[in-house]
């Protein structure tokens, strides 16, 4: 599965303002890594956000958000956000900030 390259550029622009990131091809899309941990990514048209297990239910209550179940089993602490959920720069930044905040709580690999 391909990923939306324009969305990738938007994510890069926001992440460039903060932590050092690495990019990896994952799940047929692209993943943005911080300190060896997946932070966020793009799969098809969806944004993948790592929010952590404690924020999962809160995130799922938001429009355009669903569990990340790429393999048929939900991945703990990850959600898909559909394009309507990150159309504006502010909404995309909000999701990325949530992911970065969570990943920064994890020990570096």
The pLDDT tens digits for 12-25 are 999 987 666 889 99
Quick check: is 82 in a domain?
A: no
CA-based nearest residue to 46, from 8, 74, 100, 91: 8
Quick check: is 102 in a domain?
A: no
Quick check: is 33 in a domain?
A: yes
pLDDT for 109 equals: 80
Q: 97 pLDDT band (50/70/90 cuts)? A: very high
pLDDT digits (tens, 9 = 90+) for 40-94: 999 999 999 999 999 999 999 999 999 998 778 888 999 999 999 999 999 999 9
Give the start-end residues of each E strand in 1-109.
Answer: 22-26, 29-34, 37-43, 46-50, 65-67, 78-81
Quick check: is 84 in a domain?
A: no
Quick check: is 88 in a domain?
A: no
Quick check: is 67 in a domain?
A: yes
Q: What is the spatial distance between Cα 2 and Cα 9, in angstroms, rounded to a whole number?
A: 14
What's the total number of domains in the chain?
A: 1
Expressed as residue numbers, the domain containing 4 is 1-76
Quick check: is 92 in a domain?
A: no
Helical axes 5-15 vs 89-103, angle rounded to 10° = 60
If DSSP codes are grouped into helix, strand and coil, which group holds residue 34? strand
Quick check: is 26 in a domain?
A: yes
């Amino acid at each position: 599965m391909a990923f939306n390259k324009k969305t990738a550029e938007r994510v890069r622009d926001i992440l460039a303002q903060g932590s050092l990131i690495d990019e990896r091809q994952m799940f047929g899309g692209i993943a943005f890594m911080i300190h060896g941990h997946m932070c966020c990514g793009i799969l098809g048209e969806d944004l993948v956000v790592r929010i952590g297990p404690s924020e999962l239910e809160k995130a799922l209550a938001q429009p355009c958000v669903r569990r990340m179940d790429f393999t048929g089993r939900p991945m703990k602490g990850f959600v898909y956000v559909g394009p309507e959920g990150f159309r504006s720069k502010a909404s995309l930044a909000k999701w990325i900030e949530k992911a970065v905040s969570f990943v920064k709580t994890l020990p570096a690999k």
